[in-house]
Amino acid sequence: MFGIWFKNSLETQELDQRLVVLHRTVNARRPIEASCLHDRRYELIWSSAAIEGSTLTLAETELVVRRLLTIENKSIEDAMGALDGAKALEYVTQLLLEQKDGPPLISEQQLLRLHAILLHRTLTEVSRGEYRHHEVRVTGSPFVFPLPGEVATLMADFLAWLNAQPLTDPLSAIIIAAETHLRFVTIHPFEDGNGRMSRLLMNLSHRSSFNRRAASCITPL
């Protein structure tokens, strides 16, 4: 179902042309310096949190993560979210580096650990590192998410699909990453953090050797 819907909806000629242009732009800038990759992680942490409503700027996010500073007139929750996001990205980097001879795989145990890391300092009362036990809805959307009792089976299928995706060319890798996001958020397996988790998994799904080399350039936060 996902493959047919995704292909019909997104693999249009226009999208393919845009991906080709982006790919050429990246290739024109190789080799990419380690310092550039190092700085890029702060943008990944900031942008993912901003989508979820964080008010920190990119510069403030870097201050919080690098110097453990709080920002005046900004919420503590946003700062804690930035720190957790940094640790979660570091864990994804670790998973990439641990599997040097093949595509990165992620087990259910590792997935749940990633979620626990991502929400470690959250101030709200949510379940960390376990699938949701309640029904969920998105305000204003008619979409019906799977029932809690269906989540474990659907996630087993999702992980089997994700781990079976082959090493592929960069353009196809972008499509796989987008479908990873689609499949994950459609299940919505966690009480909170689903969007941030899906974006972390998109990074993990980039199975090219370049992505692993990029990860090796990034020192721990």
Give per-residue pLDDT as tens, 69-112. 889 999 999 999 999 999 999 999 888 877 765 655 799 999 99
- 24 part of a folded domain: no
How many domains is the chain built from?
1
DSSP 139: T
- 3 part of a folded domain: no
Residue 14, token pair as written in the block: 């226009």
User: 150 is in which domain, residue-wise?
Assistant: 34-131+144-216
For 204-217, b where at least 16 C-beta lie within 10 A, e where not — what string? bbbbeeebbebbee
Which position among 23, 181, 188, 206 bears the catalytic label? 188
Q: For 129-146, what is each residue's pLDDT tens digit?
A: 999 999 998 888 889 999
Q: What percent of the chain lies above the pLDDT cut of 70?
A: 75
Range with the largest mean pLDDT of 31-35, 172-176, 185-189: 185-189
Residue 210, token pair as written in the block: 């370049």
What pTM, to 2 d.p., does this model score? 0.82
- 10 part of a folded domain: no
Residue 24's pLDDT band, with cuts at 50, 70 and 90, is confident
User: How far from the centroid of its chain's Cα atoms is residue 43's Cα?
Assistant: 13
pLDDT of residue 91: 93
| 203 touches 44 (CB < 8 A) | yes
The count of residues in the chain is 221
Residue 123 has pLDDT above 90, yes or no: no
For residue 211, the domain's CATH number is 1.10.3290.10
- 18 part of a folded domain: no
- 156 part of a folded domain: yes
Which residue is listed with tokens 């974006």? 199
Our answer to whether residue 206 is catalytic in this structure is no
The residue among 108, 81, 100 whose CA lies nearest residue 195 is 81
Residue 154, token pair as written in the block: 């659907």
Count CA atoms closer than 13 A to 182's CA, side-chain side: 16
Which residue is listed with tokens 């960069």? 170
Q: How far apart are CA 66 and CA 13, in angstroms?
A: 42
Residue 3 has pLDDT above 80, yes or no: no
User: How far from the centroid of its chain's Cα atoms is residue 179's Cα?
Assistant: 12
- 16 part of a folded domain: no
- Average pLDDT in the 204-214 region? 60
Which residue is listed with tokens 């570091």? 90
- 28 part of a folded domain: no
